[in-house]
Amino acid sequence: MANQTASNSDVGRHDKPFDSIIVGAGHNGLATALVLARNGHQVLVLEKNDYVGGMGGTREILKGCRNEVGASCLFPLSAEIKRYFDFEGHGVELIPLPVMAVNLTGADGRPLIFFKNPLKLSFNILRSFGPGAMLGFVRLMKFCEYPARVLDRFTARKAPRKLEDLIAEAPTRREREHLELAFNGSAMDIIDKFFPDPVKHRELRASMAFAAVQATYKGPYSPGSGLCLIYTMAQEGSEGLMQRVKGGLGRLSDCLTEQIEALGGEVRLKQNVVEILVEDNRAVGVELKNGTRLYADSIISNLDKQATFNVLLADHSLDETDQQKVDAFNHHGAFVHMLFKLKGKPTYSPHLEKLNGIPGAHFGGAMVLDPKELQNSYETCLRGELPDQVPLAFQVPTVVDPTLAPPGYHIASAYGFYFPCEAQKSKRGKLRDQMAEKIIDHICLHLPNFRELIVDQAIFSSDHFASMQGVTNGDWTHGLLHPDQMIGERCLIEGTGHTTPVANLYLCGASCHPGPGVTFLPGYNCAHEIMAARVAVGTTASVAISAKRAPAARAA
């Protein structure tokens, strides 16, 4: 268990018991701490909440339930990350999903079922949507392979480079045009190539459009939305399957915490860091809300750039160019997240009756809109209004993991998109509650008994995420997936992934490459960058000492 108390006595800068202090016990902060601890570093993780995992944590929100406010499924992990952290070897149980998602479009649309088995998936698309749709799906996946490799979403220990340089260096004009379309075009520019018929391909078009906008604050026809589609479709070999973690996704962070503490590191909860201490443009420590000051050789922030530099370093001025880069990052949390406790398992409408007989089909997926409706929802959001119908992702995780709720009950969750997060703050509470009703209405379109099963619910807007997790504007991506703030543009110092303009201060969260998602790569990569920097400093110091001790060279 993480230690929930800390000494109130100050620790002087000349008596540093820690090599590294990590601000924030999200999964990336814990990943950084564990890598450093395994390599002999004395680490301290400070978390303002009373649980670990941040937006990948699990805790009781609804009575008797284990709820996830944030991420809920484990998506692809790089092979290196899987080997290094070996979650299953440390007691984590992963639950395969025979049906990873069921996507639904309109009251009369055909269900798009994403089976775990690739042959079953292919056959179902062929049978439900025809050979043209099947061919289009295969061609789309093939189209995504090249730009996905350029995105380097699953490559460990590699500093990212600027997107414009990567496009310019493509070996042929055709490949440059391919990357330009993938990264700077709209999602619909891509989708229209493979699913051109708005009637025959309706459900596939709607599902792919929805996949392209969840982390963008764009519509599917907006330039640059194609990048999020590529990001979503990127695969890591055979690891590209969605899974659940038994007991909730927070079990992964619990596992990292246990390993850190077994190695002598500390994870302290309810420790609110209010300032990063800087001397001579070098980060030297942190100050807690209670006035305690703690010092270390490296300070590592798991927060986004604006939360780090504009809040924790508010009294320290960056160079104007660096400050402009920090402030330029786009953060919008245009969503409402809902949790439900249900007194039974919801059932599909008569139109979708066949889904009631498919094992795992009640687990979840998305309830989507036709692309033009989706674009209109985005534009409505920009006007400070609610969309007519809310596109959403939903889950009933107790279908595969009954341990998350008391016997006889289920839990469900939903993310509704295009909440008008830039509306006046005084209006957002009422808008949030209205959005919640629209979310339930949309769910009931496909699961008509859903409302009558609700015994308790909780509603979170991006404002809640901002206060709970300290993320700028409630943006769980730590910087939206826009072409001008991905890959190398996600970095503050060119040629590095995590180094900042303040010496000894590093970033380890999703604000770093490769961005959002429970991949552990930002934290893992950050730890390796810190260790490499220390080796380089040690080597430089050794060379300087050797030069000082060496006898003077004789004159020629």
Listed by start position, the domains of the chain span 18-58+248-329+478-539, 115-241, 332-470
The 10 Å CB-count burial string (b at 16+, else e) for 117-154 is: eeeebeebbeeebeeebbebbeebeebbeebbebbbbb
Q: How far is CA 272 from CA 228, 313, 446, 462, 476, in A?
A: 33, 14, 43, 21, 20
Beta-strand ranges (E) seen in 106-173 are 112-115
Q: How far is CA 126 from CA 56, 145, 203, in A?
A: 36, 22, 13
How far is Cα 74 from Cα 172, in angstroms, rounded to an integer?
Answer: 36
How far is Cα 216 from Cα 331, in angstroms, rounded to an integer?
Answer: 9
pLDDT, position 75: 84
The 10 Å CB-count burial string (b at 16+, else e) for 345-356 is: bbbbbebbeebe
Cβ contact 103:364 at 8 Å: no
pLDDT, position 550: 46
Q: Measured on CA atoms in the order 185, 190, 193, 198, is the torsion positive or negative?
A: negative
pLDDT, position 544: 46
**pTM score, two decimals?**
0.93
List, in order, residues 6 or more apart from 226 with CB less than 8 Å away.
181, 182, 183, 184, 185, 186, 187, 189, 190, 212
What is the residue-wise DSSP string for 195-254? Answer: ---TTTTHHHHHHHHHHTTTTTSS-TTSTTTHHHHHHHH---GGG---EEETT-THHHHH
Q: What SS3 class is residue 156?
A: coil
CATH class of the 18-58+248-329+478-539 domain in this structure? alpha beta
Tell me phi and psi for residue 459, to 5 degrees. -125, 130
> Which is nearest to 398 in space by CA: 31, 104, 62?
62
Cβ contact 182:221 at 8 Å: no
Cβ-defined contacts of 288-291 (< 8 Å, 24+): 288/6, 288/46, 290/8, 291/8
How far is Cα 304 from Cα 323, in angstroms, rounded to an integer?
Answer: 14
pLDDT along the chain (556 residues), means of 10: 50 72 98 98 98 96 96 89 96 95 96 93 94 95 94 89 95 97 98 97 97 95 97 71 93 98 98 98 97 97 98 96 96 97 97 95 97 98 96 97 97 97 95 98 98 98 94 96 95 95 98 94 97 77 45 34
How far is Cα 426 from Cα 431, in angstroms, rounded to an integer?
Answer: 10
pLDDT, position 541: 45
Phi-psi region for residue 152, left (φ > 0), alpha (ψ -120 to 50) or beta? left
Neighbours of 43 (CB within 10 A): 27
Cβ contact 19:37 at 8 Å: no
Cross-strand partners of 44: 21, 266
Tell me phi and psi for residue 105, to 5 degrees. -125, 110
